[in-house]
């Protein structure tokens, strides 16, 4: 006895979809893949950066000699965290200026500050990298999915024009096909938006930490320069 | 070039940490999504099918095997007492010693025979049981096949009636829900050859509407299983069954 029920699973929906809808689906899947990849990567990077920052702050305020800290930072240049890089750049500039004779204390501190500011910008850029991708994924992919859906529904209704008697059964599969595009768009967008908000908040907090460190370190350098 | 830029090399070429791990995790997330979609989303699309419920009697209980109580084993015949041996006289008399009386073989033969009988009866019974079971099985299968065929046929006629019903333009004033029966002759391609009114609904307008709808619906849908095709169909319509 032939079976009278036909299964409409996701695969048949995707296979029967029109060409444009297939392209939209492929784009969305690729975007979703990249967005998840950046979500995980940023998560690792930010967690690591926070740990490194905490560790360096402990070391710095633990009363270690600045020279020893600087040497340690130079020796592990490729593995140190952002805050340590800022410190390294500032202290290097300060040491250079101090070795020249006849530099004012205020100029030394200003030079160190500028060096730290430059490194700070670079580090912030590193931490914020790919965040804009998450932001645009979050805002654009629902529209892309919607476009696929609208296109699919247009197709579904066009097939309706050839029959005299319109039933729901003639459009329902087409509409279901089309809605898959919206579903995937939302699947790409929602995590991206959540991750973007979370990570930009984390990056802001790290930036604040770095900035306050720079101020405090400038004070220490000023004290050293005056002495 | 300052030492600070040396640390990263050229701007932007800083290694991207943990990208491979992130890509693997991302792939994992998408595999999970695909799995959920495939397993979780399954729409069912079935034409309106008639529900057939068959109430079957329980198969009759197997006839009780009349078990004869096993015949009590026959009592062994009392052994004849051995005759007291006569003391041999010193002088040997030419006399043969009497042979010892054998125990009668009869009871043993009797036992074996009984056993044989019982075995035979059991075999017979078993054969009967097997035959009966097989017969029941065959009946059951036949009944199931008939039911399946019946259901497929009904699904087909339902499909036909669905199509026709969509074409009926109902007159406004039909009292009640009268039934009209039409005999339709089909060509194997599904085209309608003749329509004959089998039983009028009592409302001429409705009868005409149904007849027009049948003609308009030609060709009618064919059954999924072509062997079910029948040239003559009896279709029943009621104005209010939708």
C-alpha span between B83 and B17 (Å, rounded):
115
Q: What pLDDT is stored for residue B1 in this prediction? A: 42
Residues of B in contact with A176 (CB under 8 A): 43
ipTM of the complex: 0.74
Q: What average pLDDT score do residues A68-85 get? A: 87
Hey, is B62 helix, strand or coil? coil
A–B: how many Cβ contacts below 8 A?
96
- Residue B224, chain A, CB below 8 Å: the answer is yes
Contact A41 B16 (CB under 8 A): yes
Q: What confidence tens digit (pLDDT) does each residue in B92-104 have?
A: 555 555 666 665 5
User: How big is chain A, counted in residues?
Assistant: 227
Residues 109-138 of B with CB under 8 A from A: none
Q: Is pLDDT at A42 greater than 50 in this prediction?
A: yes
Contact B42 A8 (CB under 8 A): yes
Q: What percent of chain A has pLDDT over 70?
A: 96
Q: Is pLDDT at B217 greater than 90 in this prediction?
A: no
Please say whether the beta carbons of A208 and A82 come within 8 A.
no
- Residue B108, chain A, CB below 8 Å: the answer is no
Total-model pTM: 0.54
Q: What average pLDDT score do residues A198-206 get? A: 94
C-alpha span between B242 and B223 (Å, rounded):
21
Joined together, the tokens standing for residue A97 give 């200026």
Rg (CA), chain A: 28
- Residue B143, chain A, CB below 8 Å: the answer is no
C-alpha span between A49 and A51 (Å, rounded):
5
Q: Is pLDDT at B2 greater than 50 in this prediction?
A: no
Contact B42 A7 (CB under 8 A): yes
Asked which of A2-6, A199-203, B47-51 is least confident by mean pLDDT, the reply is: A2-6
Query: pLDDT confidence of A2, banded at 50, 70, 90?
Result: very low
Dump the DSSP string for B17-62: TTHHHHHHHHHHHHHHHHHHHHHH-EEEE-----------PPPPPP
Contact A85 B151 (CB under 8 A): no
Joined together, the tokens standing for residue B212 give 């027009």
Show the domains of chain B with their CATH numbers: 144-237 (3.30.1150.10)
- Chain A's closest residue to B30, CA to CA, is A33
């Amino acid at each position: 006895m032939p079976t009278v029920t036909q299964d409409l699973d996701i695969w048949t929906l995707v296979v029967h979809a029109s060409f444009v809808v297939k392209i939209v689906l492929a784009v969305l899947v690729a975007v979703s893949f990249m967005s998840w990849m950046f979500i995980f990567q940023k998560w690792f990077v930010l967690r690591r950066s926070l740990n490194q920052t905490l560790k360096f702050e402990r070391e710095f305020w633990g009363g270690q000699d600045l020279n020893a800290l600087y040497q340690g930072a130079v020796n592990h240049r490729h593995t140190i965290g952002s805050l340590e890089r800022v410190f390294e750049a500032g202290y290097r500039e300060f040491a250079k200026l101090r070795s020249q004779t006849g530099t004012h204390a205020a100029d030394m501190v200003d030079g160190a500050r500028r060096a730290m500011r430059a490194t700070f910008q670079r580090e912030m850029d590193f931490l914020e990298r790919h965040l804009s991708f998450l932001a645009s994924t979050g805002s654009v992919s629902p529209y892309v999915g919607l476009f696929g859906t609208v296109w699919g529904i247009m197709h579904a209704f066009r097939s309706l024009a050839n029959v005299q008697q319109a039933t729901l059964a003639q459009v329902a599969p087409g509409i279901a096909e089309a809605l898959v595009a919206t579903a995937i768009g939302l699947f790409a967008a929602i995590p991206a938006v959540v991750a973007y908000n979370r990570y930009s908040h984390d990056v802001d907090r790290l930036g604040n930490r770095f900035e306050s460190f720079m101020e405090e370190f400038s004070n220490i350098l000023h004290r050293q320069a005056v002495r | 070039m300052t030492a600070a830029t040396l640390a990263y090399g050229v701007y932007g070429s800083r290694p991207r940490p943990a990208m491979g791990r992130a890509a693997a995790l991302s792939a994992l997330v998408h595999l999970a999504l695909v799995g959920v979609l495939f397993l979780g989303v399954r729409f069912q699309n079935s034409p309106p099918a008639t529900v057939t419920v068959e109430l079957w009697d329980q198969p009759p209980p197997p006839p009780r095997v009349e078990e004869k109580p096993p015949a009590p084993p026959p009592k062994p015949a009392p052994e004849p007492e051995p005759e007291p041996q006569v003391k041999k006289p010193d002088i040997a008399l030419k006399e043969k010693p009497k042979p010892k009386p054998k125990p009668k073989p009869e009871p043993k033969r009797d036992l074996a025979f009984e056993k044989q009988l019982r075995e035979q009866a059991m075999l017979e019974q078993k054969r009967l049981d097997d035959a009966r079971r097989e017969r029941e099985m065959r009946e059951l299968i036949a009944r199931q096949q008939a039911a399946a065929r019946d259901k497929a046929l009904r699904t087909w006629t339902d499909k036909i009636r669905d199509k026709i019903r969509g074409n009926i333009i109902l007159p406004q004033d039909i009292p009640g829900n009268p039934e009209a029966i039409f005999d339709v002759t089909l060509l194997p391609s599904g085209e309608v050859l003749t329509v004959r009114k089998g039983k009028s609904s009592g409302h001429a307008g409705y009868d005409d509407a149904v007849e027009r709808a049948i003609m308009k619906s030609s060709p009618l849908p064919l059954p999924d299983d072509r062997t079910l095709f029948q040239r003559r169909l009896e279709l029943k319509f009621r104005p209010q069954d939708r």
